[in-house]
Chains A and B, each alone.
Chain A
Amino acid sequence: MALAAFLLIAAVALVSALGLILKRNAVHGALFLVVNLGSIAALYLMLGAEFLAAAQVIIYAGAIMVLFVFAIMVLIPGKEETGPDPRRSYRLLAAPLGALLLFELAVALAARRGAPGAATAPAGSVEAIGRLLFTDFLFPFELTSVLLLAAMVGVLLLARRRA
């Protein structure tokens, strides 16, 4: 039962990822990406990571994708990838290179068969994560706020209209 659910969600994730990179329209691509992010949130739930599933939906599917869709609207979609591709031969190289990368990842996956340790009980409760965030990872956590502030100031600077 769980396996069937996993396969279904994985199929949705794969199809939406392919839709993102194969559809010409950027808006369609953004919607496919939302589906993909939602299916990954479902996989987080299956893994027992409830906090991340919620954060995935709120941060990625919510905030980040709204930003993407907004940028696509501002930038007049559909005009940038029309007409023949002047560098088609180079881009066709992506297929063998992607296959090579996938092969490499498969080799790395197969090589870790002998890794020790069986799957233990899932230990990802919100309480455990919060405790870890405010003890062991307190410094990176505070640095994150500085990073977000810096990003905000940088964006304001970049988006300012030259007078």
Chain B
Amino acid sequence: MIPEAYYLALSAVLFTIGVVGVVIRRNPLVIFMSIELALNAANLALVAFGQRHGSPEGQVLVFFVMAVAAAEVAVGLAIIVAIFRLRQRLSVDDLSLMRW
């Protein structure tokens, strides 16, 4: 049995990689994927905590996170596609205005 501290450490590192990815990348699609990475790291921590306490509630929470992530991805990608259709470019540096 592996101590859950290992899982939490891995989760922390993966979350940090996701956050760094959000900051350093210019492609909104890659930024979005980095967010998914961070979400998954949080899910891993949730499952590890749930197993530590021997309760399935952590897993139920992860199930909800997955459902919300699916909805979020659908809407987010639709927004990115709509922006691309409008501007014909795809870089977050061009999108610094809320309206124009």
Contact = CB atoms under 8 A, between A and B. Distances in A.
Nearest to B66: A59
Contact of B52 (A6, A43, A119): A119
**Interface SS of chain B:** helix
A101 interface: yes
Contacts of B19: 98, 101
Contacts of A55: 63, 66
Interface string B24-35: 111101101110
Nearest to B94: A80
A109 B45 CA distance: 11
Contacts of A86: 93
A48 to B, nearest CB: 6
Contacts of A51: 59, 63
Interface string B66-100: 11111111110111111010000111010000000
A159 B12 contact: no
B78 to A, nearest CB: 4
Interface residues of A, number: 80
Contacts of A159: 78, 81-82
A8 interface: no
Contacts of B56: 123-125, 128-129, 132
Contacts of B81: 71, 74-75, 158-159
A75 B32 CA distance: 14
Interface of A: 2-3, 6, 10, 13-14, 17-18, 20-21, 26, 29-30, 33, 36-37, 40, 43-44, 46-49, 51-52, 55-56, 59-60, 63-64, 67-68, 71-72, 74-75, 77, 79-81, 85-87, 91, 93-95, 97-98, 101-102, 105-106, 109, 117, 119-125, 128-129, 132-133, 137, 140-141, 144, 147-148, 150-152, 154-155, 158-159
Smallest CB-CB A-B distances: 10 pairs? A21-B21, A120-B54, A151-B71, A105-B12, A94-B23, A158-B78, A98-B20, A128-B56, A80-B90, A155-B78
12 contacts: A18-B17, A26-B29, A36-B40, A80-B26, A81-B26, A106-B9, A109-B8, A120-B52, A123-B51, A123-B56, A151-B70, A158-B78
